[in-house]
Amino acid sequence: MDRKTRIESDSLGEVKVPSEHYWGAQTQRSLENFKIGTEKMPEPLIKALAIVKLAAARVNMKQGSIDNKVGDAICAAAREVIDGKFNNEFPLVVWQTGSGTQTNMNMNEVISNRAIEILGGNLGSKSPIHPNDHVNYGQSSNDTFPTAMHIAAAEQINCLLIPSLEKLHKVLDNKVQEFKNIIKVGRTHLQDATPLTLGQEFSGYAAQIKKGIERVKSTLSGIYELAQGGTAVGTGLNTKKGFAEDFAREVAKITNLPFTSAGNKFEALAANDALVELSGTLNTVAAGLMKIANDIRLLGSGPRCGIGEIMLPENEPGSSIMPGKVNPTQCEAVTMVCTQVMGNHVAVTIGGSNGHFELNVFKPVIIYNVLQSIRLLADASLNFTEKCVIGIKANEERIKDLLNQSLMLVTILNTHIGYDNAAKIAKLAYKENITLKEAAAKLQLLTEEEFERIVKPEEMLRWLFNGFVSLSIKVHCIRTTCPPRQSPNNMISSGFIPFSNKLVTTAIPDLTLLLRINELFLLKPSPG
């Protein structure tokens, strides 16, 4: 026999396998049969599969399905795979069977051969540890692979994405405070609008990221449900009673995450809705990040001929032909990542919709794209935070100059001279390239002193503390179904209901209120 190879066998016969590797016949066949692309199974999925084998071995020993000597060797080998010692033993591409069977067998073969080696046996002998009879005992690729998909996604979300987004949120929130007193012109439809503070503008970005984190976390309950124990079609054939529940508890111990056994194994095998939902949330995060990155690079455009309201960190030269040019490269990188994540979600959506009968067979492409989206968003968010957002400075001189040129300051005159007269001032100022104050005086609608008394940008702001404000609405009770003696007078008595961004129509037991806004008051905020 060639010293560079050894003979391994499976149900189809013998196969030559490279001697230096731990994989077996089925892995080798897959290498030869699926020479498609270069996209390998992601390392987080490989680690998750090893966690499955470790947890299964522990439960199988507990239930007496495999003896402790065999089980301990399997556990030791699985631990080494989890620690990344055998990453080069998992060469298979994503483009294989849609159930991930080849990769499951790749894991079974590597753990089997390594466990045999630990016990002093010969690689490829399948003795005393068989890849199917021992490593894969009580399992099917159909429940093992989707279980590994959920474990991998959950670990990456908790270890990578959420911490990165939380750091970005913290830095954006710091910018809210840093910029809270800098009044600037607002923009809607890419046109000048009424003023706000730069801090308020950044509070919107911070809120987007915070809500993105909340959305991601909200999807984890479905990801924490594991398919293991359903075996081939969801019936649990070839498993012992309690295996699925004990398995989930073992995975929870290994990962320190709250995994549980899926309540319906038929759904867990036939569909991947939890991952489609997660991907949709990642898509939403990407949409928010793209908006933020685009805003920041537009606000930083210039240095002389753009908006130029903020100054971005200068990390590297921007042009091979234009000396001194510096580009918003971090923003551009983020937007490209977001584009990829959005494309990934399309693939995940199509894959998730193709769960025919008892098994979805688009599992490898689904998890490949989900894990890539998680990793890209995590890396991009962290990089964006550290290389761009944290170093953003306000160009206060430019901001003040643009604010003073804004025609939309005229909006505050509506309640003093009427909308039509205010519009006349704005149109004349624009037409003759004069200030609003000069236009008002020229039209004899206001004196310069009156204009200066009324038009104060700082008094046009609604949010002053952390981007929030306390509002009150004077309301009337339009209809009530409860007797007067049950009326909650302490809550409503034709008075004021404080609220913050809440719906104006509400319902409470025995009382239905339609609240009509009569007056909107801006109360003076108090710290805290």
Phi and psi of 67, rounded to 5°? -75, 160
Residue (of 45, 298, 285) closest to 162 by Cα position: 285
- Annotation marks residue 125 as catalytic: no
Name the burial class of residue 314, with classes exposed (0-12), middle (13-18) and buried (19+) by CB atoms within 10 angstroms of its CB.
Answer: exposed
Contact 169, 210 (CB under 8 A): yes
User: Is 189 a residue of the active site?
Assistant: yes
Separation of alpha carbons 156 and 383, rounded Å: 17
DSSP state of 459: G
Which of 243, 248, 249, 246 is CA-nearest to residue 231? 243
C-alpha closest to that of 328 among 376, 387, 259, 369 = 387
Alpha carbons within 13 angstroms on the beta-carbon side of residue 394 total: 20
Burial bucket for residue 273 (CB in 10 Å: 0-12, 13-18, 19+)? middle
Amino acid (one-letter) located at 107: M
> Which residue among the candidates 218, 221, 319, 493 is catalytic per the annotation?
319
Tell me which amino acid residue 307 is.
I
| Residues ≥6 apart with Cβ < 8 Å to 258 | 224, 252
User: Residue 56 has which token pair?
Assistant: 């299964």
- Which of 11, 189, 320, 526 is catalytic? The answer is 189
Percent helix, percent strand, percent coil in the chain, to nearest 5: 55, 10, 35
Q: d(Cα 101, Cα 8) in Å, to the nearest integer?
A: 18
Active site residues per annotation: 189, 319
